[in-house]
Amino acid sequence: MFYHDLTFDDAFDAAFYKACKEFVPKYEESMTKRRKPKMLEALRNLNLDRVELDDGVALLAVGESLGKTYTDNQLETPEWVTDKVAILRQWVKDRSRDNLDREIKLAEQKRSELRTAEEKRGDLDSRIERLKAKRSGLVSEPKP
């Protein structure tokens, strides 16, 4: 069939088909690249550099659940599961500690902002004295 024998609808359908034929494989390829891995794959291929705290907690829950399921069914838990769960437990604990340290630091900063001008002046005066003494070589400055 030649293009001049086609009606408008046929010509439109042919052009649309040709465009889709070129576009669809590229679209499908791009979607598979962006698709998030399944939880089991994410646990198996654990990369903590790319994990947010919420995702890490979810992976820990999946790993613990998986280990419990093996145990409940009287199966030996694979070594990689126990290893990943141990790594994730420590990672979640460390991240939680980091978050608490960050909150403590913010609270201390807010508290220091609430000090009176006299207290701030006194701190600056003592710092100036320490710096002058350090400069003259009499006393070394204590580490904060």
Query: Residue 136: which pLDDT band, with cuts at 50, 70 and 90?
Result: confident
pLDDT of residue 17: 60
- Asked whether the beta carbons of 92 and 55 are under 8 A apart, the reply is no
Q: What is the pLDDT of residues 2-18, one digit of tens each?
A: 444 445 455 556 665 66
Please choose, from the candidates 121, 124, 115, 60, the residue with its C-alpha nearest in 3D space to the C-alpha of residue 90.
Answer: 60
**Average pLDDT rounded to a whole number, residues 14-24:** 59
Q: What's the token pair of residue 66?
A: 């998986």
pTM of the model: 0.54
Q: What is the pLDDT of residues 50-95, one digit of tens each?
A: 888 999 999 999 999 999 999 999 999 999 999 999 999 999 999 9
How far, in Å, CA of 29 to CA of 142, rounded? 60
Q: What's the token pair of residue 141?
A: 């400055």
Please choose, from the candidates 106, 59, 121, the residue with its C-alpha nearest in 3D space to the C-alpha of residue 129.
Answer: 121
Query: Residue 110: which pLDDT band, with cuts at 50, 70 and 90?
Result: confident
Question: Could you tell me where the beta strands, DSSP code E, fall in 76-133?
Answer: none
